[in-house]
Chain A
Amino acid sequence: MSRPRIRMTALLVASLALAVSVSPSRAVLPDEMLRDERLEARARALGQELRCVVCQNQSIDDSNAPLAHDLRVLLRDRLQAGDSDRQAVDFLVARYGNFVLLKPPLQWNTIPLWIGPLLALLSAIVVFGRYVRRASANAAAPETERTAPLSADELEAIEAILDRRSLS
């Protein structure tokens, strides 16, 4: 690899690492934050798991929507009132349903969501395993079983190609 190329690669790797390490900007406003750092940390953890019901695919921590702001404040109010994490989340689920949870709970109608990827991975492993086994069985078999020998014409053609290459 040439020098500039190495430098480019290093730059690319570094910028990728940076992109991964920097968390997305949060919409939590300073005046929403709680004085109590432990409570605030809990609120942050919960806020990232709760869906902003207006914007639908953002957490309430990520969203600038007014309702997301209200839910963040409400969540902090609940925690300050002494709710456990579970109670605070249940409070919102009682109003907005499981829809408010970004991570769906495991129940009969969400089972495909949870085990679907696992099934896909398992079937891929099975298919790949069979392919590998067949290929290695093929490789282990004697040559004559694997392929028909080259005909005289084919041998001649190969000779011709090889000759031409060595001459040039």
Chain B
Amino acid sequence: MPRLPYLIPVIAFAALAVGLAFSLTNDPRRMPSTLIDKPTPRFQLASLDGKSAGLANTDLQGDVLLLNVFASWCPGCRVEHPMLLKLAESAAIPIYGLNWKDDRNDGKRWLAKHGSPYARVGSDESGRAGIDLGVTGVPETFVIDRAGRIRFRYPGPLTEEVWRSDFEPLLKALRSES
């Protein structure tokens, strides 16, 4: 029977290993937004072509909707684009676009080339609106409820799997809210 003091390093190591193993499952990219359940921060953005209506935070209420942050220079946005187009086509949910830290003309060309899933797009060339939203990179997708509060943030490209596992149950719950 080994004495307790000899077991201390073993126990300490086991505790450390368990703790670190647990930490491995945490993806540092998926930080929770500080804005969850808070109203969308105020912004007022021009449109990409400068003619049609742009995007303001006040547009983002009255319905459960998506706010998708994208840029023409972002490869992940190309990856998720077909998914967004499909959602728009099936009218699953209104999608609003925030063209982040992008040249307005580049953004416009990009949408013309690949098709636009967005009901409206705001051009955030300076990136300040994105910073107010706590955006760390593109693509990023926010779910906003009827009252205009941010309920979910998803960093990274939207995929079919993520849509089914993370978004659909949430949207169902949000739509059943009064």
Report A's interface with B, CB cutoff 8 A.
Answer: 53-54, 56, 66-67, 70-71, 74, 93-97, 99
**Interface: B58 (CB within 8 A):** no
Chain A contact surface mostly: helix
The answer for the CA separation of A37 and B165 in the assembled complex, in Å, is 52
Q: Does chain A have a CB within 8 A of B104?
A: no
25 contacts between A and B (CB under 8 A): A53-B136, A54-B136, A54-B137, A56-B28, A67-B101, A67-B127, A67-B136, A67-B137, A70-B101, A70-B127, A70-B128, A70-B131, A74-B128, A74-B131, A94-B34, A95-B34, A95-B131, A95-B134, A96-B31, A96-B34, A96-B134, A96-B136, A97-B34, A97-B134, A99-B31
Residues of B in contact (CB 8 Å), total: 16
Question: What residues on A are CB-neighbors of B28 within 8 Å?
Answer: 56
Q: Mark B121-164, 1 if CB is under 8 A from A, else 0.
A: 00000111001111011000000000000000000000000000
| Set A70, A94, A97: member contacting B31, Cβ < 8 A | A97
CB proximity to A under 8 Å, residues B11-41: 28, 31-35
Number of A-B contacts (CB under 8 A): 37
Instruction: Point out residues on B near A: beta carbons under 8 Å.
Output: 28, 31-35, 101, 126-128, 131-134, 136-137
Q: How far is the CB of B17 from chain A (nearest CB, A)?
A: 15
Closest Cβ neighbor of A92 among chain B residues: B131
Residue of B nearest to A74 (CB): B131
Decide: B31 and A95 in contact? CB cutoff 8 A: no
A162 and B99 alpha carbons, distance in the complex (Å): 88
